[in-house]
Structure 1
Amino acid sequence: MTSPYGLDGRVALVTGGTRGIGLAVAGALVRAGARVCVTARDPDGVRRAAEGLGGVGLAGSVADPAHLLALTEFTLDAFGRVDIVVNNAATNLPYGPLMNADPDVWRETFTVNVEAPLRLAQCVWRAWMRDHGGSVVNICTEGATHVGPNIGAYGTSKAALLHLTRQLAGELAPQVRVNSVSPGLVRTEMARFVWEHDEDAVAAGLPLGRIGEPEDVARAVVWLASDAAEWITGADLVVDGGTRVRPARAATAYTVHEHLRRHEPT
């Protein structure tokens, strides 16, 4: 059966694709008809994810430019093309006030969250997309447009990624579409410290009444990567359960930011 998303025969490369949002995105792409290559640092996790997806995987760090080049070549060797790139791998350290931030950890955050998506886009552009077209989807965050306690490095890096998305959309058109998806609070290990202490209270502060699931984000990514969004580039699709309309609700609603002020990450 032909996928309604037009992804049959397409090949997708997903970073951070062994758990959480990345694994959900990879699975959704497979169900939409694509073949996938995943990457992450843990070799066992990559092997398990690739086997479960019926795809391939290559372990390594996106902070390593040599790995990104090898990853591109590996995907092309395995499938003969690469039509979709999902830049999902990220780090949220250092956690805490920016005045206490370690400069080395700050630089590592930008290496992973901003530089790696650019380098991978460069690799895939030169190796395939410049001549054949494609779609890039960057996983950003709804927090890229406002401030929050203790996550300044992460938010600042994702704000840079949001602008990078728009810049690349302008530079790579019309061959390649570049968009981003900005999740709100999603049930992942990376965000566990936000929701695990009192999930009901956190969820009650969201207009849609629950925190997000990785599949909520995955469906948005598949749509943006597909032909259904063929006239969309440079866009940011916010998938946050209504966080941005929350001020219209009762002023006593328990917010994620209030939760962050009360709890340190575990």
Structure 2
Amino acid sequence: MADDDVAEGFGSGSEGGPGRRFEGRVALVTGASRGIGLAVARRIVAEGGRVAITGRDAGTLDDAVARLGADRALGVAGKADDAEHRAATIARTVERFGRLDHLVNNAGINPAYGPLAGLETGVARKILEVNVIAALEWTREAVDSAAPTGSPLRSIVNMASVAGTASGPNIAFYGVSKAALINLTVQLADELAPATRVNALAPAVVKTRLARALYEGREEQAAAAYPLRRLGVPDDVAGPAAFLLSDDAAWVTGQTLLVDGGASVRTAL
């Protein structure tokens, strides 16, 4: 699970330093005031890029911009499913940096925990609005806004979840929304080619605020399900995100990469 409402947790398992794959490039990362979104933004900046990040809490977002470097980052506070916020963010990004090359649809919510039988319909609609519809709208607006700059949007990464690939007790509708996002990735990859590549990441349990209910108080037990014997941290997702965004993945589109500590190799047939 991974989205914008996440806690700190840097500390990648990668030992190699970053290259300069985003030199001269600009990325927009939604839900990036902390956690996975911030880790992705930090990786882009470390590799020479500039970023615009969004988040719901202005204070937390300001702190994230300071950590990234005010000369390399722009923060715009707001809700991912708010049309005015989307328009303002993209406009300010292009105004500040002159271009938009990459989009990471990381913002997402899971306000419900429990069986589907008890899920309120209004909550289900809200989950779809933020996790799926907003990702589509960010994509359409980013593509439209990048075109007049003379450099079309190069790549998109949608932050899905392993919950979108199998049943997930107590987070079932979150999984439904992520399954929809995975299919949206496939559809957009076909429609936006060849100018824009679209891929997705499907993390398992990453130590974030959103996922705390899945591991807090029993982390060792939860980690035992993974062949790599630990839960993920945000930097474990940032590396694969940077790869899919970069030209290293220039012949990759419409794919969903599992980032799951090896858990999927134990799936019963």
The verdict on a shared fold, with TM-score over 0.5 as the criterion, is yes
TM-superposed CA distance for 1:51, in Å, is 1.6
Please list, as runs of the form range in 1=range in 2, the aligned pairs for 1:65-104 lying within 5 A after superposition. 65-104=83-122
Q: Which has the higher contact order (CA 8 A, sep 6+)?
A: 2
Q: Take 1:183 and 1:70, find their aligned partners in 2: how far apart are those partners? A: 29
Question: Could you give the per-residue CA deviations for residues 189-223 of structure 1, whole angstroms, max 9, x where no partner exists?
Answer: 11011111111111112111000010000000000
CA drift of 1:50 comes to 1.1
SS in 2 for 1:85: strand
Offset from partner CA, 1:86-129 (integer Å, 9 cap, x none): 01011012221111111111111001000111001111111114
Structure 2 CA distance for aligned equivalents of residues 169 and 19 of structure 1 = 28
Selected match of 1:198 from 210, 214, 218: 218
Which residue of 2 is the match for residue 132 of structure 1?
Answer: 151
- Pairing partner for 1:13 from 24, 28, 38: 28
Give the Cα–Cα distance (whole angstroms) in 2 for the partners of residues 211 and 35 of structure 1.
Answer: 29
What letter is aligned with 2:37?
G
- Contact preservation (8 Å) 1:83, 1:129: no
Instruction: Detail structure 1 runs of 4+ shifted over 6 Å in the superposition.
Output: none
Q: Relative to structure 2, which stretch is displaced further, 108-117 or 197-206?
A: 197-206
* Contact persistence 1:5–1:227 (CA under 8 A): no
Q: Determine the C-alpha separation between the residues in 2 that align with 1:222 and 1:247.
A: 27
CA deviation after TM superposition for structure 1 residue 5, in Å: 5.2
Alpha-carbon separation, structure 2, partners of 1:209 and 1:6: 31
Identical aligned pairs, as a percentage?
46
| Equivalent residue number for residue 198 of structure 2 | 178
Gaps spanning 5+ residues in structure 2: where?
Answer: 1-17
Aligned to 2:188: 168
Runs of 5+ consecutive residues of structure 1 not aligned to the other structure: 249-266
SS of structure 1 residue aligned to 2:77? coil
May I ask how many residue pairs the two structures share in their alignment?
246
* Amino acid in the other structure paired with 1:62: A
Q: What are the superposed Cα offsets for residues 125-162 of structure 1, whole Å, 9 maximum, x if unpaired?
A: 11114852311100000121111111111000000000
Counterpart among 202, 225, 246 of residue 245 in structure 2: 225
CA contact (8 A) 2:163 2:172 kept: no
**TM-score normalized by the length of structure 2:** 0.89
Which residue in the other structure is 1:37 paired with?
Answer: 52
User: Distance in 2 between the 1:96 and 1:180 partners?
Assistant: 26
Distance 1:229 1:40 in 2: 27
Q: Where does residue 229 of structure 2 map in the other structure?
A: 209
Higher helix share: 1
Query: Does the 8 Å CA contact 1:129/1:176 hold for their aligned counterparts?
Result: no
- Counterpart CA distance in 2 for 1:204 and 1:5 is 36
Instruction: Provide the residue aligned with 2:141 in structure 1.
Output: 123
| TM score, norm. by length of structure 1 | 0.90
CA distance in 2, matches of 1:38, 1:148: 30
1:255 aligned partner: none
User: 1:6 Cα deviation (Å)?
Assistant: 2.4
Q: Separation in 2 of the partners of 1:217 and 1:206?
A: 16
- Contact 1:143-1:155 at 8 Å conserved across structures: yes
| Distance of 1:19 and 1:57 partners within structure 2 | 12
